[in-house]
Amino acid sequence: MPYPSRMDKDALLSEIHRRNEIRREAKLPLLDVDRELEFAVNDALWQEFNRACERHADDRARIRAEFVEERRAKDGPDWGNSAGGRWVIEHHTTKRFFAFLAELGHVRPPYEPRHATVYGEAKDAPQPSP
């Protein structure tokens, strides 16, 4: 996974090791350092992306206004005033805004939940005998 430009990998590792030391003293299971580092990197990437979104909020508003204007010119002046219309506006605005940010070099990071639930993982596991 790439490291954001402002990320200090050593500082992240130091924090993970500090947390593991606390867990060791409390006799808790230790954290998986690689997984925690991956999570910290992903979190930092999201923070960086969100800051880019905030810096370009005016551009997002412009993109939204342009989309609404396009659709109202095509479908009438009341288009977009329903719940479905508002959903379509938000969907297309977000899609266009993320494409705009990508052109500037701000790519939306993948979503990687910290504790992903995997269903059906044990279906093929041997069952205990009665």
* Mean pLDDT across the chain: 87
> Is 104's pLDDT higher than 70?
yes
Tens digits of residue pLDDT in 32-91: 999 899 888 888 889 999 999 999 999 999 999 999 999 999 999 999 999 999 999 999
Query: Which of the two residues, 31 and 112, has the higher pLDDT score?
Result: 31
d(CA 20, CA 29): 9
The number of distinct structural domains making up the chain is 2
- Structural domain contains residue 34: yes
d(CA 40, CA 34): 10
Could you tell me if 71 and 49 lie in one domain?
no
Are 72 and 46 contacting, i.e. CB atoms less than 8 angstroms apart? no
Could you tell me if 61 and 102 lie in one domain?
yes
- Structural domain contains residue 67: yes
- Domain span including residue 12: 7-55
Q: Where are the alpha helices (DSSP H) in the chain?
A: 9-25, 33-55, 57-75, 83-103
